Amino acid sequence: MPRAHSRGTALFACNSTTWGTMQALVDASRRKESVLVAGLDPVPSRFPEELQALPEDEATRKFCLGILEAVEPYVAAVKLQAAFFERLGPVGMGIYGDLIGAATDLGLPTVADVKRGDIGPVAAAYAEAHLGVYGATCVTVNPYMGEDAVLPFLDEARKQGGGVFVLVATSNPSSREVQEPTDPPLFEIIAGLVVRLGRFAGDYPDAGAVVGATRPRIGSRVRELMPEALFLSPGYGAQGGGASGVRPLLDRRSGGVLVNSSRSILYAYERSASGYKEAARDAASKAQQELRLSGARL
């Protein structure tokens, strides 16, 4: 049955049967011959001059829709960082929902990057909001409170035909202070949790892992622990991660990794004489080719 979603002031239907757990990401990746995910992290102060005179909400909508249109041929999916829309208030969340709808119309699965980490009815409400009401394909989850913080998201994902990416080994530098020094390291414990909770629904389990491209040594170890999981790998581009950091994350078939790039695509125009759409298109095309040459594929 179609699901009804409220996005902005509009109410429309989204047929959940067109998306199937993590397989939606896999199918889009194979169709595009790309493992690249474009991150939408809109910062109005960095928008091009022609958008600066507009109200922030209007500028954000126009900027993100322009980026979506520009990168669509080169990316397997889109990751929306919810915080940048939440800061705009109710109108921002309307834009967030509209962008998920626009991406879906373009054939692009969406990852709601919300990193929620609560339990019980609260976690279930977060899951229903982002996977049910807004209609994202997948969501990111913080597992610090254990499986109680993950299961409600998986339960909702299984109802809606989506998936969950659990934070395992993140790309930020200070993550090492928490994720590595214990015995066994926390990232290994979380990797085991994700493997235990995931169920196969297509080529990969519906519980995947966030593993940064900036930590190839740790990423290689996570791959040993999670040989069949799908990774979402941030840190490519502006955070210093490159193709060499992606290779250790690949599974035995040179697959299993989707690579996110946000600022390097969104603000490519700052390093270019082109307009923001053209520069984003060029940056996405270049990243797609670099990752293809690295051997990464799904």
SS3 label, residue 37: strand
SS3 label, residue 8: coil
CB neighbour list of residue 47: distance below 8 Å, 6 or more residues apart: 59, 60, 63, 276
Closest by Cα among 138, 190, 143, 146 to 164: 138
Q: Is the peptide bond before 184 cis (omega within 30 degrees of 0)?
A: yes
User: Would you call 115 a catalytic residue per the annotation?
Assistant: yes
Using the 8-state DSSP alphabet, how is residue 17 labeled?
Answer: G
Sign of CA dihedral 272, 278, 279, 283: negative
**Rounded Cα–Cα distance for residues 214 and 199 (Å):** 28
- Which of 62, 115, 159, 286 is catalytic? The answer is 115
**Rounded Cα–Cα distance for residues 59 and 55 (Å):** 6
Q: CB 17: neighbour CB atoms within 10 A?
A: 9
Residue entry with tokens 């290689």: 220
What is the set of active-site residues? 115
